[in-house]
Homo-oligomer: A and B are copies of this chain.
Amino acid sequence: MTQAAQAHDLKLTKNQHLVLSVLESSRQPLSAYSILDRLRGHGLKAPLQVYRALEKLLEAGRVHRLESMNAFVVCCHSRHGQIHPRITAFEICESCGKVNEFHDEKVESALIQHARSSGFKIRASAIEVHGLCADCH
Contacts and interface: CB of A to CB of B under 8 A. Distances in A.
Interface of A: 67-68, 89, 91, 93-94, 100, 102, 104, 106-107, 109-111, 113-115, 118-134, 137
A125 B121 contact: no
Given A102-B118, A134-B118, A111 B129 contact: yes
Contacts of A106: 106, 109-110, 113-114
A120 B126 contact: no
The list of the 3 closest CB pairs from A to B, nearest first, reads A119-B134, A106-B110, A67-B68
9 contacts: A68-B68, A68-B126, A100-B120, A102-B114, A106-B106, A106-B110, A107-B110, A125-B129, A127-B128
Nearest to A113: B106
Nearest to A124: B130
Contact of A128 (B67, B102, B132): B67
Contact of A67 (B89, B110, B114, B126): B126
A91 to B, nearest CB: 5
Given A120-B131, A126-B126, 19 more contacts: A67-B67, A67-B126, A89-B111, A91-B114, A91-B115, A93-B120, A102-B118, A104-B110, A104-B111, A104-B114, A107-B110, A107-B114, A111-B127, A120-B129, A120-B133, A121-B132, A121-B137, A124-B129, A125-B127
